[in-house]
Chains A and B, each alone.
Chain A
Amino acid sequence: MIEPFTVPFMGRALAELALLALICGPVSVLVFVRRLSFVSDALTHTVFPGVVIGFVSGGAEGLFAGALIAGVVTAVLLTVLTRGGALSDDASAAVVLAAMFSIGVVIVSRRSSYTSDLTSFLFGRILTVTPRQIAETAVLAVIILGVLLVGARALIFRAFDPAGAAAAGFRIVWLDLWLNVVVALVVVAAVRAVGTILVVALLIVPAAAARMITSRLAVMAVLGSGLVLLAGYGGLLLSWTASVDHGISLTSASAVVLILVLAYVLLPLGALRLRRHPSGSVRPERTSPHELVG
């Protein structure tokens, strides 16, 4: 079960996913309690043209810069637009996001390697991750975790009771910007490895799955990270076994997400079995499992 990971590209893929697991657990908890699945979804749509423009103009280096710029600009715009409920019209927002996405597709379709480029932007290239990319992800992980650690209390207060947090003197708009930028940085960190589509799964599923078995935020964060790590290991192993032993081509990133979603489905069943035994007054108070795909 460890042997495939002695192959360098498999080891690097696992290292990259482990770093993403570390940040996606805690960040997904905040995305969950703030109900920011819409923002995460929006970011994946707007980061896509950024990724494409960056790649077309500056290759692999430009890709990172393009994603970063697009992500941060989107985070700022979303904070400003959602302030005071200006962005209440879901339909018009969705039109803008679809347009951004189309711009990305149009630009990438002008290239000769259209299909493979598009696939890699959408679903990532986890198996070709370079040591340099891992280092960049590590730096982003440290920044994200640091920023999150400082802001966690205020961000949770704001998520639970915005009026109370404002009355206590917290500036809500800055806290919103803070979290939106954090989510944007996670998208940027994860986009090369798992692609723009699947990064939504990493931001939403870990906390939603962990919530099924615990109602403690810190435990949710740790469990969420553990789940992504397990899914990363299992997904890589699955795609390796499928292609090496059975000749089936299974993209690694989608295998990772499939396992993550499987955990989301199976965890409540396991939790249900536990609760059959008479104890406490734990209620399966599930908030919306969140719309996974936009």
Chain B
Amino acid sequence: MADATLGFSGVSVGYHGSPVLTDIELNVHAGQRLTLVGPNGAGKSTLIRSVLGLVPVLHGSATVLGRPPAQARSVTGYVPQTGSLDAAFPVSARQVVMMGRYRRIGWWRPARAADRAAVREALERVGLADKAQRQFGVLSGGQRQRVLLARAIAAEPRLLLLDEPFNGVDAVSQEAILRVLHDLSAAGTTVVLSTHDLAVAREFSDLVCLLNGRQWALGTPAEALTASALRRAYGGHAVDVDDGRTVLVEP
């Protein structure tokens, strides 16, 4: 059997020796869609960064496509939160997407026709081919997020990681992003995204991982997002409503 895309067993991750997240058990295969759910500060971003090899694994064994995380970066794509980037940076949408090709291009040679084609195709997939020459900063939040998704696609990853891709994103862009992610997973790319939107988690995922300092549940949306699991992970912020569902309320 082929290696799992993500194989985390008894993993703790954190900074300077002190764990941020413990008890991580993940076994995710090619083409699966995994959603990381949890409140702010739960460690969702930390888990994503550990898959990228940017946060050290303190205990347990972690592999990404059969390799140690840091050695799998050539096959992983990462979509940061658009809010973390400087909107005034003088760069066009096309140039941002081209950054996804930089590792393939290497240090010495200029971009080739294949690189330009990959950039064009990625922009088309996210529906922004006509915005290629626009300044990244003048695009809307949702369009910027789609440009960053196009950048990750241009790298042709086998594992795609998205950190809160729907924060500050309009409904049109959210739909566009979800559609692209579905297509990618159907074609065999594993997709991992973090969100605090339970509706997205229920509709989008094959697997949901419920986090808050540790892994509280893992399974299909129905298995992982139960009322009792949500209450355990969210404490007093998870409240039962009349139709039997559990919703989250602001503290």
- Which residues on A are within 8 Å of B, measured CB to CB? 33, 150-151, 153-154, 156-157, 159-161, 163-170, 211, 214-217, 220, 281, 283, 285-287
Contacts and interface: CB of A to CB of B under 8 A. Distances in A.
B100 to A, nearest CB: 8
13 contacts: A33-B90, A151-B107, A160-B85, A160-B91, A160-B96, A161-B80, A163-B49, A164-B148, A166-B52, A168-B155, A169-B73, A170-B102, A217-B95
A217 B94 CA distance: 13
Given A150-B107, A281-B138, A164 B99 contact: yes
B140 interface: no
Interface residues of B, number: 33
A216 B90 contact: yes
A153 B105 CA distance: 10
B108 A150 contact: yes
Nearest to B15: A84
A214 to B, nearest CB: 8
Q: Taking each of A153, A211, A283, which has the highest tally of chain B beta carbons within 10 Å of its own beta carbon? A: A153
B187 interface: no
B73 A161 contact: no
A163 B90 contact: no
Contact of A153 (B49, B87, B102): B102
Contacts of B52: 166-167
B167 interface: no
- 4 cross-chain pairs, A with B, having the tightest CB-CB distances, nearest first: A167-B78, A169-B73, A215-B90, A285-B88
B54 A215 contact: no
Interface of B: 49, 52, 54, 73-74, 76, 78, 80, 84-92, 95-96, 99-100, 102-103, 105, 107-108, 135, 137-138, 148, 151, 155, 161
Contacts of A165: 99
A222 B84 CA distance: 29
B99 A160 contact: yes
Nearest to A159: B89
B53 to A, nearest CB: 9
Contacts of B96: 160
A141 B86 CA distance: 30
Contacts of A220: 90
Given A169-B74, A215-B135, A160 B89 contact: yes
Contact of A160 (B86, B100, B108): B86
A150 B105 CA distance: 12
A168 B102 contact: yes
A151 B106 CA distance: 10
Nearest to A217: B90
B69 to A, nearest CB: 11
A216 B91 CA distance: 6
A166 B54 contact: yes
Contacts of A214: 90
Contact of A156 (B84, B91, B107): B91
Contacts of B103: 168-170
A157 B102 contact: yes
B138 A168 contact: no
A165 B100 CA distance: 9
Given A159-B89, A220-B90, A168 B73 contact: yes
Contacts of A153: 99, 102, 105
A220 B95 CA distance: 15
A99 B112 CA distance: 50
A211 B90 contact: yes
Given A150-B108, A151-B107, A160-B96, A287 B54 contact: no
A226 to B, nearest CB: 17
A163 B138 contact: no
Contacts of B138: 281, 283
Nearest to B137: A285
A208 B92 CA distance: 18
Contacts of A151: 107
Contacts of B105: 153
B80 A164 contact: yes
A18 B3 CA distance: 58
Contacts of A157: 99, 102
